Amino acid sequence: MKKYFIFFFIFLFISGVAYSQDNETIKTIKNRKSVRHFTGDVVSKDDLKKILEAGMCAPTAVNKQPWNFIAVTDRKILDELADKLPSAKMLFQAGAAIIICALPEKAYNNLTEFAIIDCSLAGENILLAVESLGLGGIWTAAYPDNDRMNTVRKILNIPDNIIPLCVMPIGKPTGEDKPKEKFDEKNIHWDKW
């Protein structure tokens, strides 16, 4: 009889573990964190291409894909961005940066709103691809701050009609940064507000 109880509890334990296990994608979503501490290691162009390919998989309004991406690995440019951008100091230790550029003229109905939303969706894909490859990244905002946008435009030769949405330092994380617990049941309404 005792034996059956033991089997029963082992069964409960195993099914509990199986039930609580997220799939790999949801694990990556939960493990993604804003990484502010990097080892200084370089990021390969192959990894950056994979990451940007993931970015371009995001949906866009009426499939307009109103985006361009600048991938920076040149140490001098990374340091210049770090020097001039108050919120992107971590670029001194990061191995690369991705700058997401929004193109309002290419967006559905030429709307800046759609260019920003579409590029934001690409940005989350980028952050998740980064995490999935064992790298770390963080969104530092340029838009909607005019000074920061102009600083980024100047350093990277970006035309005035293009919006540098964000500067994302990317690199090998030291491991200091951890994901935040942000789930809050109060943010969910069922059926109506």
For a copy of itself, the binding residues in 18-57 under the rule CB under 8 A are 22-26, 28-30, 32, 34, 45, 49-50, 52-54, 56-57
Of 36, 41, 61, 150, which lies in the binding site for a copy of itself, with binding defined by CB under 8 A? 61
Size of the site for a copy of itself (CB under 8 A): 72
Cα separations in angstroms, 11 against 3, 18, 43: 12, 11, 45
C-alpha 10/C-alpha 4 separation (Å) is 10
Exposure class string for 120-133: b at 16+ Cβ within 10 A, else e: bbbbebbbbbbbbb
Q: How far is CA 35 from the centre of its chain?
A: 10
111 is an interface residue for a copy of itself by CB under 8 A: yes
Q: Considering the rule CB under 8 A, would residue 193 count as an interface residue with a copy of itself?
A: yes
Reported as type and span, the H/E element at residue 55 is: helix 45-55
Does residue number 132 form part of the binding site for a copy of itself (CB under 8 A)?
Answer: yes
In the complex with a copy of itself, which residue's Cβ is closer, 7 or 21?
21
Q: Report in angstroms how near the CB of residue 188 gets to a copy of itself at its nearest.
A: 5
User: CA–CA separation, 177 vs 32, rounded Å?
Assistant: 10
**59 counts as binding a copy of itself under rule CB under 8 A:** yes
Residue 122 per-residue DSSP state: H
Nearer to a copy of itself among residue 2 and residue 146 (C-beta): 146
Task: Tell me whether residue 139 is exposed, middle or buried, using C-beta atoms within 10 angstroms of its C-beta: 0 to 12, 13 to 18, 19 or more.
Answer: middle
What x/- string results for residues 79 through 98 when contact with a copy of itself is judged by CB under 8 A?
A: --------------------
Report 134-163 residues binding a copy of itself (CB under 8 A): 138-139, 141, 143-144, 156-159, 162
Among 121, 150, 174, 177, binds a copy of itself (CB under 8 A): 121
Through-space distance between the first and last CA atoms of the chain, rounded to whole angstroms: 52
